[in-house]
């Protein structure tokens, strides 16, 4: 840096003023570029957030439609009636309902498997001598369930 300043010190003053003016213009250009880049990045981030909001809204609308269709189906309306209300072809409504029913059956199966595992774990914990409170705390099940498992398997439950 000092070497550059020493070299510049040997230049005449008119050239130094011209050089100073060029450096100022360059500095302003770089600052303008930085401000533009920052605005562009903020705009892109906002655009990305808006896109996420749109996808979330779309997913929420889809879930609301699913619920409305299933409510009407469970009330006993035909595919034609439901399709007429929501402006879908009856075959499309049929496919949607079958898909929703499959999703529900999968969820019910998962719930059943979890409940079955909790019951076997409760039985094992009762046999190992753990108290009712410990079993409830570890498995997150009701006291009634723990008592029912103990009665069903004729096991002695510690309070």
Of the candidates 105, 75, 77, which has an alpha carbon nearest to the alpha carbon of residue 93?
Answer: 77
Give the start-to-end residue ranges of the domains of the chain: 101-159
**Per-residue model confidence (pLDDT) at position 59:** 82
Distance of CA 28 to the CA centre of its chain: 43
**Per-residue model confidence (pLDDT) at position 156:** 80
**Per-residue model confidence (pLDDT) at position 87:** 92
Rounded CA-CA distance 21/27 in Å is 10
- Is 79:90 a contact under the CB 8 Å cutoff? yes
Q: What are the pLDDT digits (tens) for 136-152?
A: 888 888 888 888 888 88
pTM reported for the whole predicted model: 0.42
Q: What are the pLDDT digits (tens) for 18-43?
A: 888 988 998 888 898 898 899 888 88
Average pLDDT over residues 97-105: 85
Rounded CA-CA distance 95/97 in Å is 5
Q: What are the pLDDT digits (tens) for 43-95?
A: 888 877 777 777 778 888 888 888 888 888 888 889 999 999 999 999 999 99
User: Partners of 158 in the beta sheet?
Assistant: 131
pLDDT beyond 90 at 111: no
- Is 147:158 a contact under the CB 8 Å cutoff? no
Tokens for 123?
A: 């039985």
């Amino acid at each position: 840096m000092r070497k550059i300043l020493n070299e510049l010190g040997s230049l005449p003053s008119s050239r130094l003023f011209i050089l100073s003016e060029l450096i100022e213009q360059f500095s302003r250009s770089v600052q303008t570029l930085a401000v533009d880049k920052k605005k562009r990045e903020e705009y892109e981030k906002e655009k990305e957030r808006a896109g996420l909001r749109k996808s979330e809204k779309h997913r929420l609308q889809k879930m609301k439609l699913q619920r409305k269709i299933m409510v009407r189906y469970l009330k006993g309306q035909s595919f034609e009636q439901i399709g007429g209300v929501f402006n879908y072809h009856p075959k499309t409504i049929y496919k949607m309902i079958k898909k929703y029913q499959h999703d529900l059956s999968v969820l019910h199966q998962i719930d059943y498997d979890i409940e079955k595992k909790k019951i076997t774990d409760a039985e094992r914990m009762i046999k190992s001598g753990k108290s009712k409170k410990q079993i409830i705390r570890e498995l997150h099940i009701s006291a009634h369930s723990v008592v029912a498992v103990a009665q069903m398997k004729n096991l002695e439950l510690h309070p």
